[in-house]
Amino acid sequence: MLFVDAVKAASAQLTPSQKQLARHILDHSEQIAFATAKQVGDAAGVSDAAVVRFARALGYDGFPAMRMALRDGLLERVGSVGMRSIGHPTSSGEDLRRAVFANDAALIEATEQLNSTALAETVVDLMSRARRIWIVGHGTTYPLALMLSMQLNQAFGNADVLNVGNGDLADRLRHVGKGDVLIGIGYARYLPYTLDVMRIGGRFGAHVIAITDKPSSPLAELAQHTFVVGRSGAAIAWWSQAGTLALVNWLVEIALHRNGPAVTEWLRRSDEVWRELGHWNSDGNSPDDRSLVDHLKAQESAAQAFASQSTKEHSNEGSEVQVGRRKRR
The full set of domains in the chain, from first to last, is 3-87 (1.10.10.10), 117-256 (3.40.50.10490), 262-328 (no CATH)
- Neighbouring residues of 285: CB distance < 8 A, sequence distance ≥ 6: 279
Rounded Cα–Cα distance for residues 216 and 19 (Å): 29
Q: For residue 282, what pLDDT band results from cuts at 50, 70 and 90?
A: low
103, amino acid identity = N
pLDDT at residue number 235 = 58
pLDDT at 324 over 60: no
pLDDT at 80 over 50: no
Mean pLDDT over 317-329 rounds to 55
More confident residue, 102 or 226: 226
Q: Does residue 207 contact residue 224 with C-beta atoms inside 8 Å?
A: yes
Mean pLDDT over 238-250 rounds to 89
Mean pLDDT over 110-120 rounds to 89
pLDDT at 326 over 80: no
pLDDT at residue number 74 = 63
pLDDT at 85 over 70: no
pLDDT at residue number 328 = 53
Q: For residue 33, what pLDDT band results from cuts at 50, 70 and 90?
A: confident
pLDDT at residue number 18 = 93
pLDDT, averaged across the chain: 82
Mean pLDDT over 59-74 rounds to 84
Q: For residue 146, what pLDDT band results from cuts at 50, 70 and 90?
A: very high
Mean pLDDT over 223-232 rounds to 89
pLDDT at residue number 171 = 87
Rounded Cα–Cα distance for residues 7 and 45 (Å): 19
pLDDT at residue number 293 = 67
Q: Does residue 271 contact residue 140 with C-beta atoms inside 8 Å?
A: no
Q: Which of 80-84, 119-123, 189-193, 298-302 is predicted most confidently?
A: 119-123
pLDDT at residue number 26 = 86
What's this model's pTM, rounded to 2 decimal places? Answer: 0.63
Rounded Cα–Cα distance for residues 63 and 32 (Å): 11
Residues in the chain: 329
Q: For residue 260, what pLDDT band results from cuts at 50, 70 and 90?
A: confident
End-to-end CA distance of the chain: 55
pLDDT at residue number 184 = 97
Half-sphere exposure for 195 (CA within 13 Å, toward CB): 11
Q: For residue 303, what pLDDT band results from cuts at 50, 70 and 90?
A: low
pLDDT digits (tens, 9 = 90+) for 40-54: 999 899 999 999 999
Q: What is the DSSP letter of 131?
A: S
Q: DSSP characters for 79-96?
A: HHHHHTTTT--S-SSHHH
Which of 88-92, 144-148, 245-249 has the weakest average pLDDT?
88-92
pLDDT at 120 over 80: yes
Q: For residue 252, what pLDDT band results from cuts at 50, 70 and 90?
A: very high
Mean pLDDT over 139-167 rounds to 89
